Amino acid sequence: MRKILLLLIVILTLISPAIPLTNGTSPQNYSVTFSETGLPQNLSWYVLVNGVGTTADSPNITFSEPNGTYPYLVGDSHGFPVTPQQGNFVVNGTGIHISVQFAVPYYNVTFEETGLPRGFNWQIDFAGKTVQMNNSSYEFREYNGSHPFTIASGNSKYRPVPSSGVIVVSGSNLTESIVFKKVEYTVTFEEQGLATGTTWNVNVSGQNKSSNGTVIDFNLTNGSYRYSVSMIQGYSLSGGLRNFTINGTNLTFNISFSPPLPYTFIVTGLGTGATWYLEIGGSKYTSNGSFITVYLFPANYSYRVVLPYGYSASNTVGTIGSSNDVVFISATNVLMEYVVVIALVVVIDLILAFFLLRRRSRKIQKQ
């Protein structure tokens, strides 16, 4: 037992110089600041000190350490070269400052546009930078990585393709092509009333299109226009001429073609073969039968029917329309009526004359 105690005393005597003596207070810490240069703005980087890491997107990273010697390691998420990358620093009663330099390789990223008229403005937002321009190309310098972009047009009649995306820089120069296309809207003309297969035509501000179907489409940009639809023989036309404006929406116009309708006049009471005629729509039609049918575009028309000499009717003048497209005329032979009346008058006169003569004869006999 005595030997064991003696051995413990020897061991404690040997290791006692390595046991630190404390007065019950914590050691004082000093600031250790790492400052970087060379990184693009807001790009994060990190420092490991004695295995403990801190990340920042600002130029400075600060640690608080007591006296001693510490290993460190510097880097960033992109793996850019940095000097120094690692090493040791010594804290000895005062704060210290360590500068590191990142070497970032940059590459040309060129945006080239086509399709815009000369002098039209467009805008590039790329990797946090905004550029307004009126020429056909612009060159950025960027480091490796994924960089978003958006493109905007200064004229509502044109749209960029693509309008946005992500460019990945990976150790080489790049060119992004932007094509500006006219912003077009569909203007549709729909016809009704034409016989199947009939060809019709629409002109929009000098641009002609024809179809034998029921629809004609135009692709047009925002602006003011005028359209006209060609007449087709044998049809009337509704909605065939108009001014219109495109303002960010598609448009549809209905075009109505109407074939001629039959308008019929029926005359009764005429003698066989009697000739009569009809005036309507600026034309004159003749018949020796009982009816006349004319084909006119749907509308209201004034008419006049002229009967043969000696006939009359009550509705020889009037208006006819698509809702009352048949006119009945009952003719009366007024000449025959006159003859009958005259004959009756003559008969009556003869009878009166007979009685007067007879009476006179009796008077003479009595005398």
Percentage of the chain beyond pLDDT 90 is 63
Is 120 within a domain? yes
Q: Are 151 and 131 spatial neighbours (Cβ–Cβ below 8 Å)?
A: no
pLDDT score of 12: 38
Q: Are 120 and 136 spatial neighbours (Cβ–Cβ below 8 Å)?
A: no
- Rounded to whole angstroms, how far apart are CA atoms 340 and 245? 74
Among residues 52, 77, 102, the one where a domain terminates is 102
> Which CATH number is 141's domain given?
2.60.40.1120
Is 353 within a domain? no
pLDDT score of 4: 46
Is 352 within a domain? no
Degrees to nearest 5, angle at CA 176 with 173 and 182: 165
Distances in Å between the Cα of 238 and the Cα atoms of 242, 258, 298 are: 11, 8, 11
pLDDT score of 357: 76
Is 7 within a domain? no
91 and 120 fall within a common domain: no
In the predicted structure, residue 99 carries a pLDDT above the cut 90: yes
178 and 212 fall within a common domain: no
Tell me which residue of 105, 103, 146 sits closest to 126, measured CA to CA. 146
pLDDT score of 343: 60
Among residues 258, 289, 320, the one where a domain terminates is 258
Number of domains in the chain: 4
266 and 245 fall within a common domain: no
Would you tell me how many other CB atoms lie within 10 Å of the CB of residue 195? 10
- Rounded to whole angstroms, how far apart are CA atoms 194 and 235? 8
Is 367 within a domain? no
Burial 216-240 (b: 16+ CB within 10 A, else e): bebebebeebebebeebeebbbeeb
Overall average pLDDT of the 95-117 stretch: 95
Overall average pLDDT of the 307-330 stretch: 89
Containing domain of residue 329, as a range? 261-334
314 backbone dihedrals φ, ψ, rounded to 5°: -85, -25
Please confirm whether the linkage preceding 20 is cis (ω < 30° from 0): no
- Rounded to whole angstroms, how far apart are CA atoms 295 and 298? 9
| Span 253-283, pLDDT tens digits | 999 998 888 899 999 999 888 999 999 988 9
| Span 7-32, pLDDT tens digits | 444 343 444 444 444 445 678 999 99
In the predicted structure, residue 319 carries a pLDDT above the cut 90: yes
Is 143 within a domain? yes
Is 296 within a domain? yes
pTM above 0.75, yes or no: no
225 and 275 fall within a common domain: no
250 and 289 fall within a common domain: no
Is 350 within a domain? no
206 and 147 fall within a common domain: no
